[in-house]
């Protein structure tokens, strides 16, 4: 059931699901779905600029060409919406000023999607949402049953930030401490700037974290780094969780985020990397986080996040089809 009129234009209507996929609000409706989009509209976990609570809606609205979902991928020769059943599971009910309750609700809803043998794709929301996602994954697959591929400027491995245990700077610390994930199963890509510091990096080494800084990406190139990350994830577990903090992009391409840091990836690099990973790794969950529409005057950050999801879906579709990519070339 599409909540739209059949010939509704892209600028009309009461609002959109992701790419106008069917809206499902009852967990029973997840049966048969391959992927479920799920919004997490909260930002109580941010340490600097807020606004990510408006992210899920902005990402869905970022590009709407109307009509039923159909997005043939030019480089893959595949339409993810023809290949997979993708539904939009709406947003969780995130009560204001209660991050713990929002996390509990997200963990529960991600659990619904995993119980239906579908892949949750969470639209953030701030990066604290990775903690409930990791808890749901740990519950389903065991703490060592999945790998994590994490694009970010920051490692988000603080024991606390401003004496607060649960924020967007702490999920990958808390998840290890809570035994929801294993430190030796995570690889981080795009780190730069002044945080984390030596204390966090030392803890990460002790836990077996891997990471690739922006300087390494510049010196070696992105493709070899992504190949290494894919090989690493495959060596650790049969499936992986892909988490993309949009601030891994340079602020020139993604100004609409809470903690921007100059010197990041180009949008085209991130889109390529996400598609490559999704086409080679079995993704058990994914998210794109930290889109803050109030700081996104031209909507380019939300559009980039929309495309991060679309590239991931396209890569997943290719992998599941078992076919080779058939790029449209002259």
Number of residues that bind Mn ion (CB under 5 A): 4
Q: Minimum CB separation from Mn ion for residue 169, in Å?
A: 8
Q: Which of residues 135-194 bind Mn ion (CB under 5 A)?
A: 152, 156
Strand extents, DSSP E, the chain: 35-40, 86-91, 119-124, 147-151, 186-191, 210-213, 240-245, 283-289
Q: Minimum CB separation from Mn ion for residue 186, in Å?
A: 13
Nearer to Mn ion, 125 or 293 (CB): 125
245 binds Mn ion (CB under 5 A): yes
Q: Minimum CB separation from Mn ion for residue 168, in Å?
A: 6
d(CA 210, CA 200): 13
d(CA 89, CA 121): 10
d(CA 290, CA 154): 12
127 binds Mn ion (CB under 5 A): yes
Other residues' Cβ atoms within 10 Å of the Cβ of residue 254: 28
CB 120 within 8 A of CB 113: yes
Q: Minimum CB separation from Mn ion for residue 47, in Å?
A: 10
Which tokens in the block code for residue 59?
């990402």
Q: What residues contact 104, with CB distance under 8 A and at least 6 apart? A: 132
d(CA 211, CA 17): 34
Sheet holding 186-191, edge to edge: 86-91, 35-40, 119-124, 283-289, 240-245, 147-151, 186-191, 210-213
Other residues' Cβ atoms within 10 Å of the Cβ of residue 178: 13
Q: Minimum CB separation from Mn ion for residue 153, in Å?
A: 7
CB 167 within 8 A of CB 46: yes
Nearer to Mn ion, 222 or 288 (CB): 288
Q: CA-CA-CA-CA torsion for 66, 302, 233, 142, nearest 10 degrees?
A: -80
Nearer to Mn ion, 127 or 306 (CB): 127
Query: Taking contact as CB under 5 A, which single stretch among the options 77-85, 125-133, 158-166, 198-206 is the one that binds Mn ion?
Result: 125-133
Query: Taking contact as CB under 5 A, which single stretch among the options 10-18, 219-227, 238-246, 273-281 is the one that binds Mn ion?
Result: 238-246
Query: Taking contact as CB under 5 A, which single stretch among the options 25-33, 227-235, 245-253, 266-274 is the one that binds Mn ion?
Result: 245-253
Query: Taking contact as CB under 5 A, which single stretch among the options 21-29, 100-108, 120-128, 172-180 is the one that binds Mn ion?
Result: 120-128
Nearer to Mn ion, 47 or 279 (CB): 47
DSSP secondary structure of 46-58: -SS---GGGHHHH
Nearer to Mn ion, 243 or 267 (CB): 243
Q: Minimum CB separation from Mn ion for residue 167, in Å?
A: 10
Q: Minimum CB separation from Mn ion for residue 216, in Å?
A: 19
Query: Taking contact as CB under 5 A, which single stretch among the options 62-70, 191-199, 217-225, 244-252 is the one that binds Mn ion?
Result: 244-252
Residue numbers at the binding site for Mn ion (CB under 5 A): 127, 152, 156, 245
């Amino acid at each position: 059931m599409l909540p739209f009129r059949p010939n509704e234009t892209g600028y009309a209507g009461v609002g959109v699901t992701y790419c106008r996929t069917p809206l499902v609000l009852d967990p029973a409706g997840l049966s048969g779905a391959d992927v479920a989009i799920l919004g997490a509209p909260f930002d109580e976990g941010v340490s600097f600029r807020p606004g990510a609570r408006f992210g899920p809606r902005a990402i869905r609205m970022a590009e709407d060409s109307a009509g039923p979902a159909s997005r043939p991928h030019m480089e893959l020769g595949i339409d993810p919406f023809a290949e997979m059943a993708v539904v939009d599971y709406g947003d969780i009910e995130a009560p204001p000023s209660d991050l713990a309750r929002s996390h509990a609700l997200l963990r529960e809803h991600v659990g619904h999607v995993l119980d239906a043998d579908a892949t949750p794709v969470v639209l953030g929301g701030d990066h604290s949402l990775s903690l409930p996602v990791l808890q749901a994954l740990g519950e389903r697959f065991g703490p060592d049953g999945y790998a994590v591929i994490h694009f970010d400027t920051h490692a988000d491995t603080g024991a606390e930030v401003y004496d607060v245990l649960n924020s967007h700077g702490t999920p990958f610390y808390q998840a290890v401490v809570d035994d929801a994930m294993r430190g030796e199963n995570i690889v981080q890509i795009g780190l730069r700037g002044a945080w984390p510091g030596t204390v966090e990096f030392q803890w990460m080494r002790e836990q077996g974290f891997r990471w690739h800084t922006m300087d390494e990406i510049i010196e070696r190139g992105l493709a070899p780094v992504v190949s290494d990350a894919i090989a690493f994830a495959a060596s650790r577990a049969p499936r992986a969780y892909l988490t993309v903090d949009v601030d891994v992009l340079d602020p020139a391409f993604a100004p609409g985020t809470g903690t921007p840091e100059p010197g990041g990836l180009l949008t085209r690099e991130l889109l390529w990397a996400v598609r490559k990973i999704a086409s080679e790794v079995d993704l058990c969950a994914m998210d794109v986080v930290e889109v803050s529409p109030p700081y996104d005057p031209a909507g380019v950050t939300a559009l980039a996040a929309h495309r991060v999801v679309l590239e991931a879906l396209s890569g997943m579709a290719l992998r599941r089809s078992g076919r080779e990519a058939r790029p449209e070339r002259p």
